[in-house]
Structure 1
Amino acid sequence: MRSFFWAITIFSVAMRLTLVLFTDLGVDEAYYWTYLHPVSISYFDHPLMVAIWQWISSTIFQCETEWVLRWTFFMTGTVNVLLCYQVSSRITDPNSARWITIAYQASPYFSLLTGAMVLPDGPLIFFIWIFLYAFVLIYQTDQLKNSFFLIGLSLGLGFLSKYQMVFFTLGFFVYSLIYKRIWWTQCTFYLNALIIVASLVPVIIWNLDHEFVQWSFHSRRVNPVGHPLSMEFFGRELAGEVFYQNPILYGLILYAVLFHGAKSVVRRPLKIALLLFSIPLYITGLGFSLFNPTLPHWTGPAFIPLLLIGIPAVFKPHEKVAIGLITTSWILFISFFCLAITELNLGLFSNRLALKNPKYLGKGDITQDMFGWEQLHAKSKDFMKDALLICSSKWWSAQYDYYLSRQENIPFAALGSLSDVHQYGIPPPPALTLPGTKLVYITSSNHYVPYSQYANLESLHCADTLIIPIIRSKDTVRQHYLYIFQ
């Protein structure tokens, strides 16, 4: 069993390294790279920790290549595996702890998204594991003094990673009211609270300086008022959660919690605490999706406590079945990963999808987002020579910023309203109509936005146009349109 455990863990590290070293930045990753320029106390979409993670590795290695930006996320993702085993072994037996850790690594969300990619979820999951480790220590010793600093620090820094940490914070205080009222008589408990409140200061200051644009943006995303009930949004959220957590693992965890949770070897007070950390977040995420389009990784952190409850619960009555399902989930995960990497580079199946609509070449092919960007740079750098500005539409054009503007040292501007451009609108982009300015507007066939949509470009003279094909396995899978304006 130990050999199998270490083999799986080493293989998981190898998979994450493959993603870190050999793939282009995704749309979100390139956008979060912009948080480095400059580093701020908060940003339009999220607090500052995703920028700090990148700053650490880029400062150490003195560059901003893809693997460098992802390095800190990879390292903390590896530490998460060790913390998973440490926490699991303290609440159950060593054998169950190993299988919990194996199951944890079979989740695409925990292995790849938070353990190898530039996303705010990376530091969030890291601080959640530190919080759970400190919480279990406190639960076992019944003393706050040894781990109070870790509790407050992890909750505070987790909040500075992503706002989902508020559910773990509230769960901690509700648990203390139910089971540990004696904590409220201890000074260390209030020091905890003070650390957590102090973590809010950077976010509050930034929002005060920017008219609370961050909080108003997020509130609009989840506000149900004026939105009809949508089973389409709900179904999409549920399907995304199943995919992100691994379909077999998702089913196993929910079955175990619903039908065997009461029999779990995890002691009742600790079980209640884990449910307080997870169920409100899970239900809230699903509830939002009934009225608004949501993203499945919003509820991702809820599956850590559910995993810690569910696997031990189902292990005792159905050990062989549980082992078989966890092993099968790994087979599914490996198959998916190998297929994804193959498709990304060769497009054996996705090329057909990309070629289906010649007018919008590549539209609907998600593999396009992480392929062909260095190819675009090599083919376009001469065309952009002497340009004073590169611009494109909306925040998801950040890959043009990273792969073209950064490498050619040309300023970049995203066009559109603040809700379209997000952090690119803080501060507002430079003027496009300065006398003598030569600028390049770029768009692609799979996310085509004509420059005629922007009045400030329509008033300029389009001096030249270049169409750049992106080739994969001898097929042109998308095109980029570059327009020179004077």
Structure 2
Amino acid sequence: MPSTHIQKQFWVNKFVWLTGFVLLVNIIQACSSALLNDEPYYWIYARYLDWGYFDHPPLIALLIRLGGSIASAEIGVRLFPLLLGSGTFYLICKLVDDEAEEVVNLKLLSLLLLSSLFLNLYSFLAIPDTPLLFFATLFLYVYRKYLKNDSLLNAALLGLVTALVLYSKYHGILVVGITLISNLQLLRRRSFYLIVFVAIALYTPHIWWQIGHDYPTIRFQFAGRSGSFEIQHMLSYIGEQAAVTGPVILLLFSILYKPQNQFQKTLKYNVIGVFVFFLISSLKAMVNVHWTAIAWPPMICMAYLYINKLKSRVPLIYGLLVVNLVAVIVLRLNLSLNWFSISNFNDKNPKLMAATLAGKANGRPLVFDNSYNEPSYYTFYTGQACFAVNDIWYKKTQYNYLPSLEQKFQNQAVTYVSDAPVNKASREIVIPKGKKYYLTYIDHFNSFTGVNVRVPELVNYFKRGTAATLKIVVDAPAQYVPLLKATGAYIIIAFTNNLTQEVVYTKCPLPAGFNNSRPFNITFKAPITSGSYHYQFCVVAKEHVGAGYNSNVYQAEVN
């Protein structure tokens, strides 16, 4: 056996040790950290298994459900995500090992991996990005094998992994699409169409779910997040990405590296393609900093290959990687010890929040206003069911698609939890190292989340400042119809200026002879200011708290 092969086997074993170390750290982290970010929200997903959810495909829900069947508390939620997340480290090591021309510099590779913010977070968090990174990296690993060996087995396996990428998170389509763009010669391979067939066949249940639910995710991504150009969105995106990929400038290094083969070309295309895609996206709306995480596995591979060939400034790079590593260690310790809060991440102090609100609820169930994390935290840490309502100035959430849960709260005495006072009787509650809430006791709560208002004949132009008429249909499940009539419900049509975000709305009473799904006309005054708008509908009771979110988003011009 050649000595080089013996060396490679030795270093592969080192990869196993590195992965084992990451796995051990992740288990400790999972057991010692309260649920973070959106983890409790996806735990709610897992309680209602389905082929799809409002804003994500279903794989993360299945992983959490499986983990919960084995273990309880936080480790049960994170068990399978942390196994996959730790596996991502191993797969990146394998990709680097396969592409390196000499024995892998384990010190450099370990520093690149362990100092990566996203790889560390998405190696244990129970959120869609964790399985996405694993299966996207596995996709690249299997794709490399397919390039080397065009067999039916490799093609079928690549089709399977493609489906798993898409079942993880919709951003996975970027890896698949960019890979194809980087190598259009794949279209000439007969086996390529087996990949397509297997992937589509396995993904069909989710496609049917989208069709059956009126494409909620597509509507949310392309209409619910509509906006107009704002230069600060682009500047924010550039600044955030420069921060998370620096100070070693991994993105620059991966771009400077000259690919030596088709697979490396694909890696480079994926790095550049993902960052450019979201740069263009930032022209229209705010881009979350973690959306580019899918580019990190190929970026680390390319950065390693480039840095390892450098003849100068290597000590400086190592020093900067160590600085990054220290920052990651501090962050991970903070997630367990809660030294400081990070907005929208660990700023809820969820265990204390849940216990405090439960103690102040006067024995009533809780209903949260314009929130999805807090009610999920509350249910996880107290075991008590609660509900969440949202208005058209917030966004839809999975709570909009849980009618069986909503029905448990109708006509009940509830404690309403909001970020602002509802009336003079609202009671302020401050959670140390958490947020401020207001509690309002409501004796007869009603909501209409399951009611859908639609425009059968789409109208996308209105004359400013003049009276206008729209034909609408109110689709209400049977249990809502008597409730709508008994509470004297009415419709709100709200126009939001896409540029200024100014809102103009009109209240329109339901007809006295309202009949479910029968069209009727509403009359209102169009906005007096010209411009591009989107309009939505909500259904509220005459005596109500908040306004609902009861329609899709419709675009219109007002002139």
What is the CA-CA distance between 1:118 and the residue it aligns to?
1.8
Residue type of the partner of 1:162? K
- The answer to whether the 8 A contact 2:224-2:395 is kept is no
Distance 1:219 1:31 in 2: 22
**Residue in 2 that maps onto 1:392:** 368
Root-mean-square deviation (CA, aligned residues, Å) is: 3.2
- The answer to whether the 8 A contact 1:344-1:370 is kept is no
What is the CA-CA distance between 1:336 and the residue it aligns to?
4.5
Distance 2:244 2:429 in 1: 34
Distance 1:58 1:329 in 2: 36
- The answer to whether the 8 A contact 2:114-2:325 is kept is no
Distance 1:215 1:379 in 2: 38
Distance 2:324 2:188 in 1: 47
2:170 to 163, 166, 170: 163
Residue type of the partner of 1:392? F
Q: 409-418 or 40-49: which moved more? A: 409-418
**Residue in 2 that maps onto 1:331:** 323
Which structure is richer in relative contact order (CA contacts within 8 A, separation 6 or more)? Answer: 1
Task: Provide Cα deviations, 1:86-127, integer angstroms capped at 9, x if missing partner.
Answer: 121111133246633541332111111x11112111111111
**Residue in 2 that maps onto 1:121:** 129
What is the CA-CA distance between 1:167 and the residue it aligns to?
2.1
Secondary structure of the corresponding residue to residue 439 of structure 2? strand
Does residue 196 (structure 1) correspond to residue 206 (structure 2)? The answer is: no
Relative distance call for 1:420 and 1:96 in structure 2 (3 A) is same
Say which one has the larger Rg.
Answer: 2
Distance 1:181 1:7 in 2: 39
What is the CA-CA distance between 1:385 and the residue it aligns to?
5.4
2:219 to 192, 216, 221: 216
Residue type of the partner of 2:356? K
Does residue 111 (structure 1) correspond to residue 120 (structure 2)? The answer is: yes
- The answer to whether the 8 A contact 2:19-2:86 is kept is no
**Residue in 1 that maps onto 2:235:** 235
Distance 2:317 2:166 in 1: 34
Distance 2:409 2:23 in 1: 50
**Residue in 1 that maps onto 2:386:** 411
**Residue in 2 that maps onto 1:455:** none
Residue type of the partner of 1:379? T
Residue type of the partner of 1:133? Y
Relative distance call for 1:288 and 1:202 in structure 2 (3 A) is same
**Residue in 1 that maps onto 2:488:** none
Residue type of the partner of 1:391? V
Distance 1:298 1:210 in 2: 25
Q: Which structure: greater strand fraction?
A: 2
Secondary structure of the corresponding residue to residue 34 of structure 1? helix
**Residue in 1 that maps onto 2:109:** 100
Secondary structure of the corresponding residue to residue 150 of structure 1? helix
Does residue 67 (structure 1) correspond to residue 75 (structure 2)? The answer is: yes
Does residue 308 (structure 1) correspond to residue 301 (structure 2)? The answer is: yes
- The answer to whether the 8 A contact 1:90-1:136 is kept is no
What is the CA-CA distance between 1:482 and the residue it aligns to?
2.6
Does residue 257 (structure 1) correspond to residue 254 (structure 2)? The answer is: yes
- Paired-residue identity, %: 18
Relative distance call for 1:433 and 1:177 in structure 2 (3 A) is closer
Secondary structure of the corresponding residue to residue 87 of structure 1? helix
2:54 to 17, 30, 44: 44
- The answer to whether the 8 A contact 2:36-2:345 is kept is no
- The answer to whether the 8 A contact 1:175-1:276 is kept is yes
- The answer to whether the 8 A contact 1:244-1:297 is kept is no
Relative distance call for 1:334 and 1:71 in structure 2 (3 A) is farther
What is the CA-CA distance between 1:16 and the residue it aligns to?
3.4
Relative distance call for 1:220 and 1:199 in structure 2 (3 A) is farther
What is the CA-CA distance between 1:255 and the residue it aligns to?
2.7
Relative distance call for 1:97 and 1:271 in structure 2 (3 A) is farther
**Residue in 1 that maps onto 2:420:** 449
Distance 1:26 1:182 in 2: 46
Secondary structure of the corresponding residue to residue 432 of structure 2? strand
Q: 15-24 or 200-209: which moved more? A: 15-24
Task: Provide Cα deviations, 1:288-345, integer angstroms capped at 9, x if missing partner.
Answer: 1122111122121123223222321232133x63464245323323234425644874
Q: Which structure: greater helix fraction?
A: 1
What is the CA-CA distance between 1:154 and the residue it aligns to?
1.0
Task: Provide Cα deviations, 1:397-454, integer angstroms capped at 9, x if missing partner.
Answer: x32333247624233233324962411111456369855x2201123xxxx23335xx
Does residue 369 (structure 1) correspond to residue 350 (structure 2)? The answer is: no
- The answer to whether the 8 A contact 1:344-1:367 is kept is no
**Residue in 2 that maps onto 1:19:** 29
Residue type of the partner of 2:361? M
Alignment gaps of 5+ in structure 1? 351-364, 453-457
- The answer to whether the 8 A contact 1:8-1:102 is kept is no
Relative distance call for 1:335 and 1:148 in structure 2 (3 A) is same
Distance 1:5 1:406 in 2: 37
Relative distance call for 1:248 and 1:380 in structure 2 (3 A) is same
Relative distance call for 1:56 and 1:418 in structure 2 (3 A) is farther
What is the CA-CA distance between 1:165 and the residue it aligns to?
1.8
Does residue 321 (structure 1) correspond to residue 310 (structure 2)? The answer is: no
Distance 2:48 2:182 in 1: 40
- The answer to whether the 8 A contact 2:251-2:303 is kept is yes
Distance 1:270 1:433 in 2: 55
Task: Provide Cα deviations, 1:245-291, integer angstroms capped at 9, x if missing partner.
Answer: 4x224x1x2332333x22xxx52322222233332222111111122
Residue type of the partner of 2:350? W
Secondary structure of the corresponding residue to residue 439 of structure 1? strand
Residue pairs, 1:351-370, within 5 angstroms? 366=343, 369-370=346-347
TM-score by length of 1: 0.78
